[in-house]
Structure 1
């Protein structure tokens, strides 16, 4: 499978596998290990985590099966995120969910992810969401310590807007390599708020979470979803493609910002389908047919 260059020493697979719902897959340790191996064999080598996924349990489940799998670790790229403090039974004293981007918390959560994932380093660490209480000097301090210690190789953000990302970049010494945002033919926010234009201008590659809009594109409950699905079906028929999810993935993949879709599936068949979407083609007009259907009006 083709790779995407995020930095001189960092490549992601063109499709990424997200671990948010890992516990829902209910796999045994051996089943999960086999699934990880099959994913890598199919070309999906980048795995997306966060410290809070599965009520802080997903990383440890993944790490348990990766223990003593150094050869396998060398074939993959591990991404994690930090900064969100949940109200959960694991932290009963917290009264509200909030964000913490102090240097001490970023470092402690990165180290916790390393421990849980049974690895010596993260390929990329992301700040999970922008915060109304955000001190970029604290973030820069954390990034410098994690980089110099060899615990994190690269850094990025998630759900940031252009000015938020640009502001942070002026403080940190390492170039930010990605912004993980919601993008799909249903979620057009980052086409409209100039975020994708900004990322192109800075040569920062976006990662797209929820590329199928949580199922809304395939099983719509809204007028917008119904319009988008109708256009997707039309394009699929025109290009002779029976699997609609492949059309959706290709819609993302062909964008000049080099969008990297993050899959949330525990089924290897769906991973192989997503990989196969790299081989289909649609025209620019067909791309716009889907965009305009979701937009609900003609372009100006």
Structure 2
């Protein structure tokens, strides 16, 4: 899954090409059946119109409503199963994708959205050299230099670099007693803990100690808070921005197979 997400443009193109090819085939077959029905069946006009309506509803329900609803509800559970299919499909449509990119998409992109110049941007190495020069000339102090260097190093870190490894993760079974969880929270002195079903690869949410204390005796599933899932290779800077935007305090780090690799907390 993370391998596909690292190239979202290719993934989107693969999905669109695959979807449209299936729809074209579906409409060709449907149109053939509708025309035969109109010409060969009694009261053919009525039945042809009925088939046309059924064809339209079939497309809307089967290719729009059902897939998107399932993906919205069970995205994490379905992703590991769907990813290999998309990977194979991506290889099949790759020649067509490259042709469309070279002959149509890239020329239109250059025409409609010319690339903006980034000559004013500084690379991380250039910023580091600028910091060293500024400190040498006395423009900034040692403390400021170290702080800014740590900020620069942050841009190179990935979620997997700072996560708590799976073997050290403290988690709790969703159907176990709230009292047992409260004992763990007090013993470990933690304020939030992931909750799972069956095993740590199936985390269903996070419990905050404060919410557990004000809801004594309630089933854990009723006081679960959503948990974020981030790829192990995700840039830490982006992860922190997402946490800030969603006000999340805990995220589960997943590996390329969708299994739990560890967690990140704020």
Name the TM-score class by shorter chain.
under 0.3
Larger gyration radius, structure 1 or structure 2: 2
TM-score normalized by the length of structure 1: 0.23
TM-score normalized by the length of structure 2: 0.25
